[in-house]
Amino acid sequence: MSSSQTKQNTPSFPATAAGTRFARIAGTGSYLPPKRLTNQDLVAQLAQRGIETSDEWIVERTGIRARHFAEPDVPSSALGVQAARQAIEAAGLQPEDIDLIICATSTPDMVFPSTACLIQNELGIIGCPAFDVQAVCSGFIYALTVADGMIRNGTANRALVIGSEVFSRLLDFNDRTTCVLFGDGAGAVVLEASDQPGIVSTCLHADGRYAKILNVPGNVRGGEIMGDPTLKMDGQAVFKLAVSVLDKAAHEVLEKAGRDASCIDWLIPHQANLRIMQGTAKKLKLPTEKVVVTVDQHGNTSAASIPLALDHAVRSGQVQRGQTLMLEGVGGGFTWGAVLVDY
């Protein structure tokens, strides 16, 4: 679509009076690095390190069968740019139509500037606010909620919200309990101001008392890495807490919307572990057929997992306009949240 065509189709945005302005998802996009590793590929690599595991062991505990890893010279921003371009195109827009960029990532290209600013530059967008959100695997839920608020209050009209991660850089390949879980990728959505609700209700929470059950304890000081820069996780503690808080978050956004779980056409959770996802669906009394699952092919892509799964479901024809979606995530911090969407 040409720039002139886009401008001709630009809607008149609703007034900013309270209760008259909402945010709706206008387009989705995603990107996975070309390098795909099956469980068998990873098992063979780990065997060279003397680490024993198996495809059956990984699948039984996680549901993961494959994941994608970015090449060493490919940063988060490069993945995010590809997903962003897809989302902008799907929305029928040009990059210059975007007036807010938020990137959720725990694996930024550098300490600063933000990955969002680097993506902004690659897209050729000048002047609009651009910043990162760091809430680990809940990052996209946090970023989507922030963008929704900024559109509702008139700060932005069209927001690009991205989740982009290269978690393969944080893995300890001597720890089979964590290195088999994660992958790299990016997903994005374009939110647009509307006079009809799209983002219906949201909730965000955190509890720093649980920081030690999932973290990367290293940092940079004086040009040197201090501590351990690889991911550490207490899997059983994370599992127990995740199922509990995700159920509460889902019911919180339903209560805010004045609805119950029967309104949900699709549950699109953070793709961390198939058993956590199934446990969440069970608590909501949703059949497994209503859960969008990509963890088997993507692994846990942290902040990228929800927009990756959403875009997959949209492009495969699972998710249709007019349906109601429950998005929810939980991650290190400990952070969690949910978003109810009329798509």
Active site positions, annotated: 137, 270, 300
Written as six digits, the tokens of 302 are: 């942290």
Helix 305-315 vs helix 76-90: crossing angle, to nearest 10: 40
Q: Is the dihedral of CA 156, 143, 78, 316 positive or negative?
A: negative
How far apart (Å, rounded) are the C-alpha atoms in residues 109 and 201? 32
Residue 236, number of CB atoms within 10 A of its CB:
9
Looking at the chain, how many residues does it have? Answer: 343
In the numeric block, which tokens belong to residue 12?
């008149």
DSSP assigned state of 106: S
Cβ atoms 188, 87 nearer than 8 A: yes
The CA distance from 142 to 139, in Å, is 5
Strand 158-166 vs strand 100-104: parallel, antiparallel, or unpaired? Answer: parallel
Q: Which two tokens stand for residue 111?
A: 């300490």
What is d(CA 172, CA 165) in angstroms, rounded to the nearest whole number? 16
